[in-house]
Amino acid sequence: MAEHGQHSVPHAQAGEFDNMELVHPKTFLGKYVWSQDAKVIAIQYGLTAIAIGLVALVLSVLMRLQLGFPNTFSLIDPSSYLQYVTMHGMIMVVYLLTALFLGAFGNYLIPLMCGARDMVFPYLNMLSYWFYLVAVLILVASFFVPGGATGAGWTLYPPQAISPGTPGIHGGILLMFASLAVFIAGFTMGGLNYVVTVLQARTRGMTLMRLPLTIWGIFMATVMALLAFPALLVAILMMLCDMLLGTSFFMPEMLNLGEPSTHEGGSPLLYQHLFWFFGHPEVYIVALPAFGIVSDILATHARKNIFGYRMMVWAIILIAVLSFVVWAHHMFVSGMNPYFGFLFATTTLIIAVPTAIKVYNWVLTLWRGNIRMTVPMLFAIGFIFTFVNGGLSGLFLGNVTVDVPLADTYFVVGHFHMVMAVAPVLVVFGAIYHWYPKITGRMLDDTLGKIHFWVTFLGTYAIFYPMHFMGFAGVPRRYYGYGETTFIPDSIQTLNAFMSVAAIIVALVQLVFFYNLVRSYFRGREAGPNPWQATTLEWQTEHTPPRHGNFGTELPVVYRWAYDYGVPGTKHDFIPQNMAPDEVERADRVDQDAPGRLPS
Amino acid sequence: MAIAVAVILLAMGSVLFFFFSPWYLTPLASNWGAIDDTIQITLWVTGAVFLAVNLFLAHVIIRYRFSRRRRSQYDPENKSLELWLTGLTTLGIAGLLAPGLLVWGSFVSPPDDAHEVEVVGQQWHWSFRFPGEDGRFGSVHNRFMDEHNPFGMVDDPAGQDDILISTPHLVLPVDRPVKMVLRSKDVLHNVKVANFRAKMDMVPGQTSFFWFTPTEVGEYEIVCAQLCGIAHFAMRGRIEVVDQEDFDAWLTEQPSYAELAALAPGDPEEGEARYTSCAACHGPEGQGNQDLNAPKLAGLDAWYLERQLALFRSGARGTHEDDIYGIQMRPFATMLPDRQAIADVSAYIGTLPDRPVQASLDEGDPERGARRYRTCANCHGQQGQGIRATNGPRLAGLSDWYLERQLQNFRKGVRGRHREDAYGNQMIEMAQVLVDDQAVSDVVAYIMTLPLPRVEMAAVSSDGVEE
Amino acid sequence: MTVTLVFLAVMMALFGGWLFSHSINVRPWEAQVTGRSRLQMPAGVTASRVGLGVFLAVATSLFALTISAYLMRQEMGHDWRPLAVPGLLWWNSVCLVFGSVALQSAWKAARRDDAGRLRLGLLVGGGFTIAFILGQALAWWQLQARGIYLSANPANAFFFLLTALHVLHLLGGLFAWSRSLLRLQRGATPRNMLPSIELCALYWHFLLVVWGILFALLLTT
């Protein structure tokens, strides 16, 4: 497994990876396609994830068209609607957010922020991306097989996932299984890299407690993903056996539209346990990197040290650990032993404590700061607001009794979109605005960025906040249409139309973002090495964008944590992590009469 | 600063939206006021935190906005502040959790005096079973289910008096706790009545339960709350909550398992005599007559004919003012005196020869129709042969003009709107998939290309006779 | 899920304890020169070893979850008919033990720079492993021949699933093993081979332990 790490250990005392032998290909293909440079792999991951994410975005617009203006579009029948629901969910959760946070941001930031030249197993890293690409292609292919993609919901619950009455029970679900299996294999290769790089390849002085929170978030998310994805793998393997070999792991005696099935005695609940054992940690796999990244954006743009760093680290770890013992809160009304409800409601609400602490500490980081209203900062504040909303609505669903009337209604849809769709996506955008200057050497356009932020932030709130009220009114989710339902007031239809219009606007404004990405790449303002005047190592590289190998001839040595903004007694507004204490003093003497190096 | 204003406005607006929005919990109709209370508590606590955090955030954004002359204050930690915040949060969480767990305690323990009703879910239909006089349900198993034994009753003395309700309409007495025992024939379902608050998934291969006490007389809609396939959204039912006397009266009208088993099957010979009045319009061989707007009957399944005749007879079909030909049909159906007469005439129609029909319309494009038809295929079969289990009648071999008219009637709610016509209700929902007249023509054109299911037809009718 | 939770608890306790030892009494905001070793980890903890460790954790998670599913399915269903484990598995187990021992001796030989014994150890180890896999296949075939089919009973299905997962992991190991063998044939020195031989040996020991647990599980339930 691990012997791909082509490294040499020439000196006992030097770090294992100080003089990593990097593969420096000369050809275009070698540099940009079969690249082993984590930064190139990161961009490959990012572009692929965004491309497939766009597919999922279009699917969501199609769903909203049907919900807002029912029975107007002949393209959308109940089968396609369910296929949109399923593929939208699966793509967004696994193929977009997981891949983007861990594959793209993880690959780009881990080596740079830890002060490493590259990931420790570059070949494996490259393989990881190609596996991911194959997984995405298989997934896309499933739209085109007879019967189309699976429409079982992203949870793929048996029996319906593989019994008649659900779209895509032949080719569609098979390709979904195949795609997930390939994704998991690819992710495991990448994940090994991320974990081992953080553990082994940190530069001199980069102790665990000096790691930027971004790295902590990505690191813990990777650890969780490595431990949780096997649950999904086992579950789909077993369902595959049920489907193809006639075993009865999950399939009970049942009828298939009137015809008796050959299965006997299987337990659909067993699948749900396995699925959510993966599925709940998955929520935090998406959330933790967002937590980490947003902490760094807040600190940098508020020119303020992060408040309660140690608490933040332990909160991340506590959330990671607890998230493995809360899975059954997705199953309060699943028909499992109802006494589990007591246990899982308790563990679920306990997890709210470290999460709340993180929110407090973000706000307290801003407190007494010197807040620059840059575009990344806007997105970070948007994240806090959205996340507070989504986190609080989680207290309804995690508390077993309150969950009963709200489960499987639009309240759930509103909640999880706030907390694990909009909030992390706002962070993704913030992070792109934040790191784009390092990745390309040019700044993204501010005005376009602000338009993008305002429409996205307000628009998504307009889509998802009213959904909670539909949930209170009892509107069930995953419905193709509501027809003549006695308990749903007609005004809900107006609300649905409003939400659909908002969704279309939000989808369209993403074009502004893509335009900005492309335009700034060629015509953006030159960024310089450290436009945000940030302390972390990626901003201290010799070249911008950093070359293969990241740093110059010498790896940086770290003397301090990542949050030395506005340190008392120094002239400087910020001190980079690799600035030695005596260097700071020297710089202070030089700058004695010059104005403080405050950002403009 | 715009962001601070936005945060303030959004936070206040969200809270105001809560107070002034017309959308909130449906009127409570069960004993689960305690669940509503836990929602209320959670709303107050989370609302307060939501406002506090966001207003403080907005304050911070304004107060500590960027200034060239100022530097941020360096404070890495504040142990006591962090402890206080953690402590207060823990208290708040405990305050939410405690009532939740208390109510859950009663949610999972049905009272001893609760009477039991079994709810059976299937794609995409509800049915119910009462334990009968002995108060015990007879054993059931999915393995024994077929079209003659839809509940999967095992040969069990306790099951003989079980009362079986095959239509998705349930009646419950007011103010008496009821334990809903849930099971499923095929995939996962979830029986949900918004006004009762309680709900639970039904899982094939096991039973689950929830309990509640209906407290308000009235009529409530059952919806399915667990994705169960393409007609998930059309899986509806109804619970009527009535006084104890009305309930008792209703229950005694419902057939028990033993009674259903003892019903005499339809007799085609008896039916032949009754058919003479039908023959005038529908033709002596049930071949139909377009000039008289009488559809073809030959080849239709007996169960479907029985259902439709019963609907015509009771006025659940053929009473809508725009249903001209349905109104014409009604008096003939009311001439059939009882259930047995309906069964007889249906059995007779089953013996009539099924001949292909001529296409009379040509606006439809069968290829486009094929794509539309994939929705229909789930209940009516890939070949339009009809599926008993989904209550989807046969479509193949019917006249196109008849199919088109009925689909239009369903789309417009001319047919199937009556509250007693449960499958008609469902078909109204499904017919909305056909967004315009062209879509109707297309799907009808496709159905015309489907082969006549002769062999299966024979098998079904002979089964019907043997019963 | 108890099995998985216990495994995770152990993992998290180890990790948490290690982290605690790194964070207790650390005041991260204090800048200082770290003059000590450039290594973040003790010298023996190489990246490839850590990498293998992490991979083994993933594999353990996979097996723990499958075992959890096994135990839960046994409890949930009412149709569990225990399977008479074929006696052949005892012989297979012995093969796997020998395979592990042989690879251990190969590791030892690599450290001593003894090319001959290294090759012998590798060949014998791989041979025994292939024998094990063939033995497992034979056991499957025997069961089929006795009319014990995969689909007939969950106990059978789990027997096939667990053994198949284990064999798949061994096949992955054999892939790495064949690469090492190839390198040795091409004249790599034992000392250069040490890291990969060491990983192979550790991986084999891990799979032996997993097999022991699976076998015990199959025998006792």
Who wins on pLDDT, A598 or B287?
Answer: B287
pLDDT of residue B454: 60
pLDDT of A11 strictly over 60: no
Contact between A252 and B205 using a beta-carbon 8 Å cutoff: yes
The segment(s) of chain B belonging to CATH 1.10.760.10 are 268-466
pLDDT of residue A589: 73
Residues B362-374 have a mean pLDDT of: 90
Check if B374 contacts A (Cβ < 8 Å). yes
pLDDT of residue A106: 96
Q: How far apart are CA B37 and CA B19, in angstroms?
A: 16
Q: Which CATH superfamily is domain B268-466 in?
A: Cytochrome c-like domain (1.10.760.10)
Q: Rounded mean pLDDT of chain C? A: 88
On chain C, the residues whose CB falls within 8 A of the CB of A16 are 39, 46-47
Least confident of A109-118, A201-210, C38-47: C38-47
pLDDT in tens, A444-474: 999 999 999 999 999 999 999 999 999 999 9
Q: How far apart are CA B206 and CA B377, in angstroms?
A: 29
Residues A516-531 have a mean pLDDT of: 94
Q: C41 in a domain, yes or no?
A: no
pLDDT of A13 strictly over 50: no
pLDDT in tens, B382-417: 999 999 889 999 999 899 999 999 999 999 999 998
pLDDT in tens, C136-194: 999 999 998 888 888 888 888 999 999 999 999 999 999 999 999 998 888 888 888 88
Q: According to the CATH classification, is domain B115-262 in 3.40.50.2300?
A: no
Q: C151 in a domain, yes or no?
A: yes
Check if B96 contacts A (Cβ < 8 Å). yes
pLDDT of residue A548: 87
Contact between A257 and B378 using a beta-carbon 8 Å cutoff: yes
Residues B322-340 have a mean pLDDT of: 90
pLDDT in tens, A154-190: 999 999 999 999 999 989 999 999 999 999 999 999 9
Confidence of residue C105 (pLDDT cuts 50, 70, 90): very high
Q: Which helix (H) or strand (E) holds C183?
A: helix C154-185
pLDDT of C209 strictly over 90: yes
CATH number at residue C119: 1.20.120.80
pLDDT of residue B56: 96
DSSP-based three-state secondary structure for A565: strand
* Selected residues 131-170 of chain B with any CB under 8 Å from a CB in chain A: 141-143, 145-147
Give the nearest partner residue to B429 out of A481, A486, A568, using CB atoms: A481
Residues C101-115 have a mean pLDDT of: 92
pLDDT of B458 strictly over 60: no
Confidence of residue A352 (pLDDT cuts 50, 70, 90): very high
Residues A52-79 have a mean pLDDT of: 93
Residues C24-46 have a mean pLDDT of: 70
Nearest CA in chain B to C77: B205
Instruction: Specify whether the CB–CB gap between A395 and A415 falls below 8 A.
Output: no
pLDDT of C83 strictly over 90: no
pLDDT of C35 strictly over 70: no
pLDDT of residue B262: 86
Contact between A165 and B229 using a beta-carbon 8 Å cutoff: yes
Q: Which of A76, A173, A401 to mutate against chain B (most B CBs within 10 Å)? A: A401
pLDDT of B455 strictly over 60: no
Q: How far apart are CA C18 and CA C26, in angstroms?
A: 14
SS3 annotation, C107-147: HHHHHCCCHHHHHHHHHHHHHHHHHHHHHHHHHHHHHHHCC
Check if B75 contacts C (Cβ < 8 Å). no
Confidence of residue A9 (pLDDT cuts 50, 70, 90): very low
SS3 annotation, chain B: CHHHHHHHHHHHHHHHHHHHCCCCCCCCCECCHHHHHHHHHHHHHHHHHHHHHHHHHHHHHHHCECCCCCCCCCCCCCHHHHHHHHHHHHHHHHHHHHHHHHHHHHHCCCCCCCEEEEEEEECCEEEEEECCCCCCCCCECHHHCECCECCCECCCHHHCCCEEECCCEEEEECCCCEEEEEEECCCCEEEECHHHCCEEEECECCCEEEEECECCCEEEEEEECCCCCCCHHHCEEEEEEECHHHHHHHHHHCCEHHHHHHCCCCCHHHHHHHHHHHHHHHCCCCCCEHHHCECCCCCCCHHHHHHHHHHHHHCCCCCCCCCHHHHHHHHHHHCCCCHHHHHHHHHHHHHCCCCCCCCCCCCCCHHHHHHHHHHHHHHHCCCCCCECCCCECCCCCCCHHHHHHHHHHHHHCCCCCCCCCHHHHHHHHHHCCCCCHHHHHHHHHHHHCCCCCHHHHHHHHHHHHHC
Q: Rounded mean pLDDT of chain B? A: 90
Percentage of chain A beyond pLDDT 70 is 95
pLDDT of A129 strictly over 90: yes
Instruction: Specify whether the CB–CB gap between A221 and A130 falls below 8 A.
Output: no
Q: Note down the domain range covering C147.
A: 49-220
Contact between A338 and B11 using a beta-carbon 8 Å cutoff: no
pLDDT of residue A590: 65
Give the nearest partner residue to C50 out of A196, A231, A575, using CB atoms: A196
Instruction: Specify whether the CB–CB gap between C131 and C157 falls below 8 A.
Output: no
The ipTM assigned to this model is 0.93
Contact between B100 and A400 using a beta-carbon 8 Å cutoff: yes
Rg of the Cα atoms in chain B: 29
Nearest CA in chain A to B57: A363
Q: Rounded mean pLDDT of chain A? A: 90
pLDDT of C40 strictly over 80: no
Q: How many structural domains compose chain C?
A: 1
B294 forms beta bridges with B289
DSSP-based three-state secondary structure for A14: coil
Check if B202 contacts A (Cβ < 8 Å). yes
Residues A320-338 have a mean pLDDT of: 93
- List chains touching A (3+ CB pairs under 8 A): B, C
Q: How far apart are CA C37 and CA C29, in angstroms?
A: 21
On chain A, the residues whose CB falls within 8 A of the CB of C39 are 13, 15-16
pLDDT of residue A4: 39
On chain A, the residues whose CB falls within 8 A of the CB of B71 are 303, 370, 566, 573, 596, 598
Contact between C23 and A201 using a beta-carbon 8 Å cutoff: no
Percentage of chain A beyond pLDDT 90 is 78
pLDDT of residue C33: 66
B212 forms beta bridges with B178
